Structure formats: structure tokens, C-alpha cells
Amino acid sequence: MEEQNNSGTLPPETPPPARQEPPAPKPAARGGTAFWLKLLAGLYALSLAAAVLVIYRADAARKAAPKEMDLSKLAGLAKKKDGVAVIPIYGVITQSNSSRAWERGSEQTAKRIKELAEKKDVKAIVLDINSPGGSVGAVQEIYSAVLKAKAETKKPFIARFGEVSASGGYYVASACDKIIAHPGTITGSIGVIFSVGNLEGLMKKVGYKSEVIKSGKFKDIGSMSREMTPEERRLLQGMIDDSYDQFVTAVSEGRKMPVEKVKELADGRIFTGRQAIGNGLVDKLGDLRDALDLAGDAAGLGKNPRVITDADPLEEFFSLIDTKLSLPGLGAAAEAVQAPRLEYRWEGRV
């Protein structure tokens, strides 16, 4: 029984809470997914329409062309003027068959030499060398490509030296008919080097020990975890001497210089371009323009010949970066993780 208040009346009833309606959905923003899908579909339709229009006009032009054309006249117009090809060899010479522009290796350079030498409008080739050398195998691959191209095509090759053309860079140039250098070019460094680090002391300090299981006592020759044995030194020296003889022979044959005369210069020393002329290692002082003129004269084209190059601008840019990044800090870091190898390479920095 409900209680009555003092006045004898019942308390008023409490009204039920008002029903809350759910918020109305917000309209989709114009930049939503649907908008962009419609935009892409529209662009796609426009591109198809443009393609159809281009094909239609090309077909109409083909039908409107005369049925009989003088192909001999077209051939005459398309004929290219003879010229001199320029092939850059920049940075450390290594083996790489990568198609990436910044990893131009000896395979690509050898292929380029062969292809340009076989072109009818190429009458001579200039090797624009700015390199401290590189691995023995890579250097010899380019050297062999030059000799084969000369033997097969009888076309003259001229080497032009930039800032540096030492060791393997000079090895490649010795296959050419003439060599031109700047007065201050660094060249020479005729010889071979094999470098390997010894981290044994460091490993002991950090508590690292290398365990090697091998089939023969020379299998881990050049290991950085231990000191080299006298027998290993004699074995490696024999390889160095053999590679050195190959270098001396290449220079002797290319420069038409007695072997004993080459050996007097082939103790690893470097020369300026002007010093190299006095020692018979260079033929003339000059720049790329002079090298092109010399190649033009040798090919019967005269001075200021047409220049032919198949180098990609992006490739040349990365090649230049590769050359300029031969800095002491970066070079040391790269060599620390590099496997030991025989090299025709100058270890200096410019």
C-alpha cells in the first residue's frame, strides 16, 4: 500500500526517460575510396581513348603514304657519319656482370669494346681511363678484349689518362697504340699486390677463437685469424712473381720496350705524366680533345672527329661517384670485408 503524504495525496508519477535516436551517419568525404576509384577509372578510360586515337592516326598515315618508296634514298639519309668511339674506364676494375649502372664490371667493358669496334661508323676507339687498377682477372679481361678487337678490325686504339691510370689502369692502356696523359697524371705502379689482414690479436682480446677443419695445409691460406706461415709466403710470392712477369711482358710488347728496361721501371713506383714520357711509358701530353684528334688522324678522319658513345648519363654519373668515393675511410672499410686476391692496383689515394 502506497504511503500518502501529509496532505493526503499521492506523489506524482515520474515520466519515463525520452528515447534517444541514433546519430545520423555522416556523409562520405569527397576524398574517400570511392572517389579515388572513380578518378582512376576515368583516367584509365582517357588513356585508352588516347591510345586508340594514336593508333588510328598512325594507320591512316600509313595508308596515305605512297606505295612505292625509294629505299635507297632513305638508306642514304640514315647513313651515319664516321667517327671515334669513347669508352670510359673509371674507378677500381672488378669483375661484375650486373646490369646495374653503378656496378659496371670488366664483362660490360669488354663487351662494349667488342660491340663498338664492330660498328662500321666507328673508325677508332679512345679508352678514357681514370683508374688505380683492380683485380688481375678483371684487368686482363679488358686487356684481352682490346687486343682481340685490334686484331679483328685493324682499328686504332688510343688511351687517354685522367687523374690516375696506375697499375691495372696502365696494364689496359699498354694494349693501345698510343697513350696520352696530363702532365700531372699519376701513372706507373707496375706490379702486383696481395693484401690480407691479421685479426688474431684482436680476436684474442674479445675472446673469439676460430676453428678450421681443412683438407690440406694450404686450404685456408690468407686467413685473417692467424699469422701466415713461411711456406704460405713462398707459395704466394710465386703467384705474385708469375703475375708480375705477365704484366712486364704486356708492357714490353705494347710499348715495344726491352723487358729489362721495363723491369727498371716496374718496381711499383709511380710517375707523373711528364715523367712517364721521359721513361717511354706515355707518348704525348694532352687532354681528351687531343686524344680524339690523335685517334681521328690515325683513322684517316682528321682532327675534330665525330664522337660516338653509347654510355648512359645515369651510368656515367654513378661511375664518377665510384671514382670520387675512393677515400681512405671508405676504401679501408670496403677492403676489410673483401676476400684476399691478386691485384694490379695502386694502393695510394688522391
Catalytic center residues = 167, 219
Angstrom distance (rounded) from CA 219 to CA 60: 72
CA dihedral of 169, 170, 173, 174, whole degrees rounded to 10: -150
Q: At 350, is the secondary structure helix, strand, or coil?
A: coil
Helices (H), the chain: 33-64, 71-78, 106-118, 136-153, 168-173, 200-206, 230-255, 259-265, 273-278, 288-298, 313-324, 328-336
Rounded CA Rg of the chain: 36
Sign of CA dihedral 194, 323, 270, 282: positive
Helix (H) / strand (E) containing 176? none
Cβ-count burial 220-249 (b if 16+ within 10 Å, e if not) = ebebeeeeeeeebeeebeeeeeebbeebbe
DSSP-derived secondary structure letter, 101 = G
Locate 181 and state its grid cell: 696523359
Angstrom distance (rounded) from CA 249 to CA 241: 12
CA dihedral of 27, 33, 34, 35, whole degrees rounded to 10: 90
CA dihedral of 291, 293, 295, 298, whole degrees rounded to 10: -140
DSSP-derived secondary structure letter, 102 = G
Angstrom distance (rounded) from CA 313 to CA 319: 10
Angstrom distance (rounded) from CA 235 to CA 350: 33
The Cβ of residue 53 has, within 10 Å, a number of other Cβ atoms equal to: 10
Residues in the chain: 350
